Structure 1
Amino acid sequence: MSLPLIRVHWLNESRAFRVLFLLEQLKLDYEIVSYRRDENFRAPEEELKKIHPLGRAPMIELEDRTTGEKKVLVESGYIFQYILSHFDTDGILKNNDPEMAEKIQYYLHYVEGSLQPPLMMELIFSMARKAPIPFPISYVVSMVTGKISSEFSAGEVKNQIDYLESEIGKNQGFLVGGKLSGADILISYPLMYVFDLGLAHKEDYPNISKFLEDLSTLDSYASAKRKVNALGSDY
């Protein structure tokens, strides 16, 4: 039975890059439907809501090549879980050990459930502090966001990064079982953002730093990167 047509609804500067990375690693054919953020860094919700009511990217549209019937996948962790379950027929990113396979599933939920929320808060705070707001309002914004960051989100990001630094060190440079899995690809983007936002420094986290460097040398990563560069974006 032939695989469905895979269509990636991709948004620039979003977590959608990881989906391309995943599909490239599995050597799956797919199409990209490109969307651009507006001047306020917002996604074009009206266009995206035509695909799914939530209007969020990334989204995967699967179209049966015979019947034309379509299925839409949303939420990054679920997208990864579905693709790995249905399309990784050669076990490229799976682990045959049941305990290790279960741990991969854990990380597919962990990335969006534990790591991403405080990181997203820090991103929003960073954008708020850089916004063209007149003084003294800008001072108040900086003071409030700085207070929330110092008492919650920044500390929580450090807690998560310390945990991952240890886990990668225990698993021969990967998250699970000393080999590349879908969890590594899913977690790559938020870990890159931690360093890009200056929430952590690479010299303090050598395991994570090498982990990201090793991922960036993969042919699948380079191929996904070329495709988004052709669309006029870094990610």
Structure 2
Amino acid sequence: MIRVHHLNNSRSQRVLWLLEELGQPYEVVRYARDPKTMLAPPALKALHPLGKSPVVELDGRMLVESGAIIEALVERFDPDHALSPAPGDDDERHLYRQWLHYAEGSAMPPLLLSLVFSRIRSAPMPFFVRPVARGIADKAMQAFVGPQLVTHLAYVESELGARAWFAGSRFTAADIQMSFPLEAAVARAGDQAGPNIRAFVERIHARPAYQRALATGGPYALVG
């Protein structure tokens, strides 16, 4: 049995969705974020030194890192390439591999920094420190994070204008991997997330397997 250590409002939602698309049975072990810090509970660190989710138990191994987990599950449970390009389709395989890595390697860092600086601006602190902290956060957003967000969202918007799905004309696990940053972009970046990105998010939300995973995973604040 596949066991998914699932943290609410986290990347592990993608793993539940992938398993639903693959039609594989799995067990969910739930963890809740600290409501004040929004950090994962100590129980996850007891499971794995990084203390993060997703963690997947498969064949006696602990699998971590969303992209690596997705690759491992697709290799094991998708022999007919329903969710991955078939051997010999070099163009789609190139795109598939690129977007599997782009999601966490390039797309998530500016989104995460945007969230961090937003929390700095609203965090409780002594009144005499507040203007300094907010000034630093605003400067970082204006000089670096904001322009990076614009660049990456424009790139993704353009790519989704060229084709319906990230690896080509059909849905693959690369689209599952890209779901989290684009859901975050739609939820947090406002109008910077263009119509192609929003249409992609609407398409994935309409998939029956996505809906089943949402029902299994519980409340997911990135949706809606």
**Whole-angstrom distance in 2 between the partners of 1:128 and 1:13:** 20
* Cα contact 2:157–2:194 (8 A) shared by 1: yes
Paired residues for 1:36-185 under 5 Å? 36-38=32-34, 39-44=36-41, 46-63=42-59, 70-96=60-86, 97-171=89-163, 173-185=164-176
Cα deviations by residue, 1:21-65 (Å, 9 ceiling, x for unpaired): 111111111111111111211111x311232222111111113xx
CA RMSD of aligned residues (A): 1.5
Name the SS of the counterpart of 2:153 in structure 1. helix
Q: Which residue of 2 aligns with 1:187?
A: 178
Structure 2: how far apart are the matches of 1:78 and 1:157? 25
What amino acid does structure 2 have at the position aligned with 1:43? A
Q: Take 1:234 and 1:156, find their aligned partners in 2: how far apart are those partners?
A: 24
For 2:214, the equivalent position in structure 1 comes to 225
TM-score, L = length of structure 1: 0.88
Structure 1 unmatched ranges of 5 or more:
64-69
Q: Residue 117 of structure 1 aligns to a residue in which SS?
A: helix
Q: State the distance in 1 between where 2:119 and 2:17 align.
A: 27
Q: Which amino acid aligns with 1:135?
A: F
Counterpart Cα distance in 1 of 2:220 and 2:213: 11
How many percent of aligned residue pairs carry the same amino acid? Answer: 37
CA-to-aligned-CA distance 1:163-206 (integer Å, 9 cap, x gap): 011111111x2112111111111111111111211x2417x611
| 1:73 alignment partner AA | L
Matching residue within 202, 208, 214 for 2:203: 214
Letter in 1 for 2:215: R
After TM superposition, the score normalised by the length of structure 2 is 0.92
- The CA deviation at 1:233 is 4.7
